[in-house]
Amino acid sequence: MSSHNQDTTGAQTTQEARMGEGVDNRFNSKLREAFGSSPFILTKFDSFMNWVRGSSMFMLQFGIACCSIEMMHTYAVKHDLDRFGSGVPRASPRQADVIIVPGTIVSKFAPRMKRVYDQMPEPKFVVSMGSCTCSGGPFQEGYNVIKGAEEVIPCDIHVPGCPPRPEALIYGIVKLQERIANGETAPVTVKPYELEQFGDLEEDELVQHLADQIDEEDLVMRYNWAESP
Amino acid sequence: MSLEAPEPSTHTDVGVTETGLDYDVLESLLGELVIDRETHHNAEAFVVRPDRVADALSVLREEAGFDHCSCVTAQQYEDRYESIYHLKKYDDPTQEVGVVVPTSIHEPKSQSGSGVYRTADWHEREAYDLVGIEYDDHPDLRRILLPETWQGHPLSQNYDQERQQVVPLTEHANPLEEDHRGGTDTMFINIGPHHPATHGVLHLKTTLNGEQVADVESDIGYLHRCEEQICQQGTYRHQIMPYPDRWDYISAGLLNEWAYARAAEDLADIDVPEYAQIIRTMSAELCRIASHLLALGTFAIDVYGDFSAIFMYAFRDREVVQNILEDLTGQRMMFNYFRLGGVAWDLPEPREKFFEKTRDFLDELPTRLEEYHNLVSGNEVLQLRCVDTGILEPEVAKQYGCTGPVARGSGVDYDLRRDDPYGYYDRLDWDVVTEDGCDNYSRVLVRLREVEESAKIIDQCVNLLEEWPEDDRTIQSNVPRTLKPDPDTEIYRAVEGAKGELGIYIRSDGTDTPARFKIRSPCFSNLQALPEMAEGEYVPDLVAALGSLDIVLGEVDR
């Protein structure tokens, strides 16, 4: 803190001079110390934005199954996810940056989850929580169960466990924050049913073949047990 | 939907004797309706022709007093389909009877029982969805768990799981379209499947007339994880036990495990040592406390608004319970602690420390509960929202097969821990809590008071365990390594789960996996009563009613 910077001659640093007499050092912070006397930082806008994004994330209040109970514990008193700058659950996907997918996804819910994901503004990030969102988990053999969230939406972080402890979820979220701060994001996965969005692209045989399978009246999600990993 | 007031039955004691039910008297009551008789492990069952189901059920309901249709199991044999109606009495659930309805393999058509028991409505829809039996005269025979477009019936015998399925996204109606149902200008609104107030992935199709709910229909199946299929693939001894934890996943795992343990132990005739029963009783009640606290916390969110103080209070106490359970079982939520014939391991060493920790929690609990009463039940705002809203009359609750705190909040004095004793409950001193308000407030109050009762039970169990002689601490009886119950034995057994009567039907075919494993979930039946509570009320009361039902979708959809 400021006392370390003081030299023996009694000359004041700019910072101390600006703070004036009689003011204690409670406004000082590690950041201020790091910056020294200059109140300016020079950085790239991109890096700055990434740092901002990673440091303040709005989570979507989204519960599916067992994992959502542990997720609620992560938000609540003991574990308090807010300490890591990501504890503001938003009820509307349009206000959220991060979606934690906490639980088994079944065929009936998958299109709904995809729609919720689509409603989130860019840039958006996905933490898939629990074994079910990695692979279908203990329910993998079920006739109705999607074998992992990756089948539906692109995931940035997988947190395995059944369910993962709150500590594990926090670790996953902090890792996501690190990735965001470093400017890394998940590759965008385009699913066949999204191809209609690229209607202005040049005609392509494959695109055409896939687009033909889509009933335009009826946005359809195919679920195939046999070809699942 | 209005319900014609059922006349109170006066002949509730047909065939009741000192030693139990005399099924011959019941058979003569049914007369020529009975074409055969079967013996299940829990009760005798009468075989009835598929076109006489409603007659047989209404005789049993009106004249013999079987007012609780606990469950409807459907299954396919090599040569026939079969529906089984498991009937009980609310006054004495040990008096049970089954009604077995075989139908032909080529044209599985059977008469619906939904005119006699409202609860049969959803159960039969589920049977149609998963097994493929069609019910004549059913008011609304559609798929209930799987998407409308699903091909085939997954629990029937030649279902092809490799088959490609297509699921559309157009099911939701457009809320902006003009809607004039019922002659008035109504508005259609979707609540869910992703909505903070639905406690998971429930979809409510709501029709509003101004601010009032004109019609509400629950659309479930967004968390249908094929639990029954997976249990039918697992071996009795070890492979099934992890799954009950995931039915009602609100830390009520041990209560669910007990449902499976009780059914399988009775089926295979396994004894449980007394010491293990006490551990089971204690740990299950800890689960009940955790579960009721979550119900309280989330209810407070629904009714008060945001992530608020009460939610944090409740979760703070849940953490304490989960710590105790983690010491005991090694897991915070998915315990997998019960084994057939006992529990997995003894109390953690040093035992004194475990007892001390549990006692500390129990000592602290009265102060905490007082705080809850100040915050919740004594709060004027909450009382305004909850008193006299979401009314569920006791007779209606019985029609829908409601159990647990929902039934007890309507004054139905029904608790399997006392009425159909298992474990160590009948040797402990505790009371069944009922409230007569029939409203949202009563249901919340019942849960809060049940926490006190559970604490009483745990306290007595801790005392017993502490004084238990060291050389008599048997935690498991001898169970064959590969468990193969006798072929063609059937059992339906229920325990009091956190949300009500959690029943398991198992049919053994002599192999080490069940031929049919059916779960009777309390939330499934409780949720069916939602329209009765919400219609005609305001929208916020619908949300409060849903919160006070305390459903968990993992158990509704299974």
- d(CA B297, CA B289) in angstroms, rounded, equals 12
Write the Ramachandran bin of B195: left for phi over 0, alpha for psi from -120 to 50, otherwise beta.
beta
The closest of B316, B110, B302 to A76, measured between CA atoms, is: B316
| Test mutation, B170, B194, B556, chain A, max A CBs within 10 A | B194
User: Is B166 in contact with A223 (Cβ distance < 8 A)?
Assistant: yes
* CB-CB neighbors (< 8 A) of B167 in chain A: 107-108, 110-111, 220-223
Residue B478, CA distances (Å) to B234, B272, B342, B482 in order:
20, 9, 9, 12
In a domain, A4, yes or no: no
The closest of B420, B421, B394 to B408, measured between CA atoms, is: B394
Tens digits of residue pLDDT in B427-484:
999 999 998 888 889 999 999 999 999 999 999 999 999 998 888 888 898 888 888 8
- d(CA B484, CA B108) in angstroms, rounded, equals 30
For position A6, what pLDDT does the model report?
46
In a domain, A26, yes or no: no
A193 and A132 in a common domain = no
For position A213, what pLDDT does the model report?
66
In a domain, A83, yes or no: yes
Q: Which of A76, A110, A145 is nearest residue B226 as measured by Cβ atoms?
A: A145
A35-42: long-range contacts, CB 8 A cutoff, minimum separation 24: A37/A13
CA Rg value for chain B: 23
For position B365, what pLDDT does the model report?
92
- Supply φ then ψ for residue B221, to 5 degrees: 110, 5
Residue of B nearest to A70 (CA): B333
Query: Which residues on adjacent β-strands are paired with residue B491?
Result: B506
> Is the pLDDT confidence value at B544 over 70?
yes
Residue B357 CB neighbour total at 10 angstroms = 15
Write the Ramachandran bin of B55: left for phi over 0, alpha for psi from -120 to 50, otherwise beta.
alpha
How close A226 gets to chain B, by Cα (Å)? 5
> Is the pLDDT confidence value at B253 over 70?
yes
For position A229, what pLDDT does the model report?
39
> Is the pLDDT confidence value at B318 over 50?
yes
Q: First-to-last CA distance in chain A?
A: 56
Residue of B nearest to A141 (CA): B230
In CATH terms, B249-516 corresponds, of 1.10.287.70, 1.20.58.100, 3.40.50.300, 1.10.645.10, to 1.10.645.10
Q: Give A221 or B522, the one with higher predicted confidence.
A: B522
| Test mutation, A82, A104, A108, A227, chain B, max B CBs within 10 A | A108
Residue of A nearest to B320 (CA): A78
A72 and A162 in a common domain = yes
Q: pLDDT class for B9, splitting at 50, 70, 90?
A: very low
A207 and A109 in a common domain = no
Between chain A and chain B, the number of residue pairs with CB atoms below 8 A apart is 148
User: Is B146 in contact with A144 (Cβ distance < 8 A)?
Assistant: yes
A149 and A80 in a common domain = yes
CATH of domain B16-136: 3.30.460.80
A199 and A118 in a common domain = no
In a domain, A20, yes or no: no
Output the 3-class SS for A8-57.
CCCCCCHHHHHHCCCCCHHHCCHHHHHHCCCCCCCCCHHHHHHHHHHHCC
- Supply φ then ψ for residue B542, to 5 degrees: -60, -45
User: Which tokens belong to B31?
Assistant: 């007369």
- d(CA A199, CA A212) in angstroms, rounded, equals 12
Query: Which residues on adjacent β-strands are paired with residue B39?
Result: B44
Burial A88-125 (b: 16+ CB within 10 A, else e): bbbeebeebbbbbbbbbbbbbbbbbbbebbeebeeebb
* CB-CB neighbors (< 8 A) of B316 in chain A: 76-78
For position A21, what pLDDT does the model report?
63
Interface of A with B in 129-188 (CB under 8 A): 138-139, 141-145, 162-163, 165
CA Rg value for chain A: 24
Domain interval for residue A79? 49-181
In a domain, A121, yes or no: yes
The closest of B445, B453, B451, B409 to B429, measured between CA atoms, is: B453
Domain segments of chain B as ranges: 16-136, 249-516
Count of the separate structural domains present in chain A: 2
The closest of A108, A47, A217 to B222, measured between CA atoms, is: A108
A67 and A145 in a common domain = yes
How close A11 gets to chain B, by Cα (Å)? 51
Tens digits of residue pLDDT in A28-69:
667 666 666 666 667 777 788 888 888 888 888 888 888 999
* CB-CB neighbors (< 8 A) of B311 in chain A: 76
Q: Which residues of chain A have pLDDT under 70?
A: 1-11, 15-29, 31-41, 185-208, 210-211, 213-229
This complex has an ipTM of 0.86
For position B287, what pLDDT does the model report?
92
DSSP alpha helices (H): ranges in B11-167?
A: 23-30, 53-62, 120-130
Residue B519's H or E segment, with its range, is: strand B514-520
For position A53, what pLDDT does the model report?
83
The closest of B528, B530, B523 to B551, measured between CA atoms, is: B523
Residue B382, CA distances (Å) to B305, B391, B408, B541 in order:
11, 16, 20, 11
For position B260, what pLDDT does the model report?
93
Q: Give B185 or A152, the one with higher predicted confidence.
A: A152
| Test mutation, A66, A68, A117, A147, chain B, max B CBs within 10 A | A66
Tens digits of residue pLDDT in B130-184:
998 999 888 888 888 988 888 889 988 888 887 777 777 655 555 556 666 656 6
Q: Which of B167, B230, B251 is nearest residue A223 as measured by Cβ atoms?
A: B167
Q: Is A196 on the interface with B (CB under 8 A)?
A: no
User: Which tokens belong to B483?
Assistant: 């468990």
Q: Which of B167, B226, B316 is nearest residue A111 as measured by Cβ atoms?
A: B167
A209 and A119 in a common domain = no
A213 and A110 in a common domain = no
User: CA B515, A66, B526: angle at the middle one, nearest 5?
Assistant: 70
- d(CA A72, CA A92) in angstroms, rounded, equals 17
A209 and A165 in a common domain = no
In a domain, A200, yes or no: yes
The whole-chain average pLDDT of chain B stands at 87
For position B423, what pLDDT does the model report?
87
Share of chain B above pLDDT 70, in %: 94
In a domain, A171, yes or no: yes
Residue of B nearest to A220 (CA): B168
A177 and A195 in a common domain = no
For position B7, what pLDDT does the model report?
47
Tens digits of residue pLDDT in B270-285:
999 999 999 999 999 9
> Is the pLDDT confidence value at B204 over 60?
yes
The closest of B203, B234, B105, B120 to B157, measured between CA atoms, is: B105
Residue of A nearest to B202 (CA): A64
Contact status, residue B290 vs residue B329, Cβ threshold 8 Å: no
CATH number at A125 reads 3.40.50.12280
Residue A161, CA distances (Å) to A67, A105, A146, B6 in order:
9, 15, 17, 50
Instruction: Provide mean pLDDT across the span B481-495.
Output: 90
A60 and A171 in a common domain = yes
Q: Give A229 or B358, the one with higher predicted confidence.
A: B358
In a domain, A84, yes or no: yes
- d(CA A7, CA B467) in angstroms, rounded, equals 70
A98 and A193 in a common domain = no
User: Is B316 in contact with A77 (Cβ distance < 8 A)?
Assistant: yes
The closest of B6, B1, B16, B119 to B71, measured between CA atoms, is: B119
Tens digits of residue pLDDT in B83-140:
999 999 988 888 889 999 999 988 888 998 888 898 999 999 999 999 989 998 888 8
The closest of B511, B492, B520, B522 to B264, measured between CA atoms, is: B492
